[in-house]
Amino acid sequence: MAVITVTVANFEEEVLKSTVPVLIDFWASWCGPCRMVSPVVDEIAKEITNAKVCKVNVDEEGELSIKYGIMSIPTLMVFKNGEVSSKQVGVKSKSQILAMLEE
C-alpha cells in the first residue's frame, strides 16, 4: 500500500474513521532525522497489509501539529479506532515502528 499524504481536509476520513490501525509520520523537509525515518516508513507501507501508513508535513499542516501536540519531529503516532494508541519521538528502527502497530 502506498503512503497517504494526510491534510486537515482528509484527516477525519483517512485516520479517525479508519477501520484499520493508522501509522502517521509527522515530518518536515528541512528535518535531518525525518529524512532518516522516511525511507523506513515508506518500506513499511509497501510491506504491511493490515494498516494504513500516512505522512503529515508539519510545515503545511500546522493545525494538525498543534492539535496532536507535535513538539519535535519526527513524531510517529498510531491511531486505532480514532484514538492515539502509541506515540514515539525521534528516529526509530523498523522493528520499533512495527512494534507500535502491535501495541
d(CA 57, CA 36): 15
List helix spans (H) across the chain: 8-11, 32-47, 62-67, 94-102
The CATH number that applies at residue 92 is: 3.40.30.10
Burial (CB < 10 A; 0-12, 13-18, 19+), residue 17, is exposed
**The total number of structural domains that make up the chain:** 1
* Domain hosting residue 72, numbered range: 4-102
Percent of the chain with pLDDT strictly greater than 90:
96
pLDDT value for 50 = 93
In whole angstroms, give the CA distance from residue 56 to residue 48. 19
Active site residues: 31, 34
Of the candidates 18, 27, 17, the one whose C-alpha atom is nearest the C-alpha of residue 64 is 27
Per DSSP, 103 falls in state: -
Q: Which residues pair with residue 25 across a beta bridge? A: 55, 76
pLDDT in tens, 44-92: 999 999 999 999 999 999 999 999 999 999 999 999 999 999 999 999 9
